[in-house]
Amino acid sequence: MACNIPMSPQLEQIHGEIRDHFRALANGFQRLDKIKDSTRQTKQLEELTDKMRDCKRLVKDFDRELKDEEANNPPEVNKQLNDEKQSMIKELNSYVALRKTYMSTLGNKKIELFDMGAGPSAEPTAEDNVQVASAMSNQELVDAGMKRMDETDQAIQRSKQVVEQTLEVGTQTAANLKGQTDQMGRVVNHLDTIQFSIKKASQLVKEIGRQVATDKCIMMFLFLIVCGVIAIIVVKIVNPNNKDIRDIPGLAPPAESRKLLYLRNPEYMGR
């Protein structure tokens, strides 16, 4: 819809964007009537809700820009601009009411960004909203639209806070899981080191056991040899004439007892 109201370039750009959003909303609700699947209808309503949110933001921008330029415009232009703003708010409210009608039909309460009632019993229909809008003054319509937009902003802010808290909890949980995984890895490595040490110790004990057994056998053999040698020496000393026992190399036979020979000499006999 063309507008012949004189506007500044900023106002004209915002006004054009708002009108583009209104055309997109009209086309979206027309397509919504042709969709039979409830899931697709819900998705389409979510997209239209995003459009309404953007449109609400643009209306706020239009209002702020209008207040900034109000001192530079003639009274007639300001009146026309205010009427245009109220007209856009009414049109936006009509789309809000239309959306609520579709929401009531679908029985889907997932999108509550433009909630205007206190409960299911207080949900107004599109016709009720049009009648109420007609009975309200321009300032009341502006206040009502701004109030609904503020409620939408608060709902969006709460949703953002919930998302941020969820992300924070998820990040903390992931960090804890990573720390526990690293700790388990260190424990497993430590257990592998202990197991390897136990195997090495077992092998060393077995080797020491074999060496001790070998040393005992050698000592026993040497003890038997020494006992045999001692026995042979004892037998040789006791019975030197025993020919059954060979002489031990390096061991001389026992010396024979010396006999003193006394020569009988007459010369000595008298002495």
Q: Cα separation of 129 and 250, whole Å? A: 137
Output the CA angle 255-257-262, nearest 5 degrees.
Answer: 140
Q: Give pLDDT tens digits for 33-53.
A: 888 887 888 888 888 899 899
- Supply the pLDDT for residue 73: 82
How confident is the prediction for the chain on average, in pLDDT?
A: 76
- Supply the pLDDT for residue 233: 81
Determine what percent of the chain is predicted with pLDDT higher than 70: 74
Q: Give pLDDT tens digits for 199-219.
A: 878 888 888 888 888 888 898
Residue 263: helix, strand or coil by DSSP?
Answer: coil
Tokens 């708002």 -> residue? 18
Q: Cα separation of 51 and 84, whole Å? A: 20
- Supply the pLDDT for residue 121: 39
Examine the pLDDT at 126 and tell me if it is beyond 50: no
Question: Chain centroid to CA 150: how far?
Answer: 36
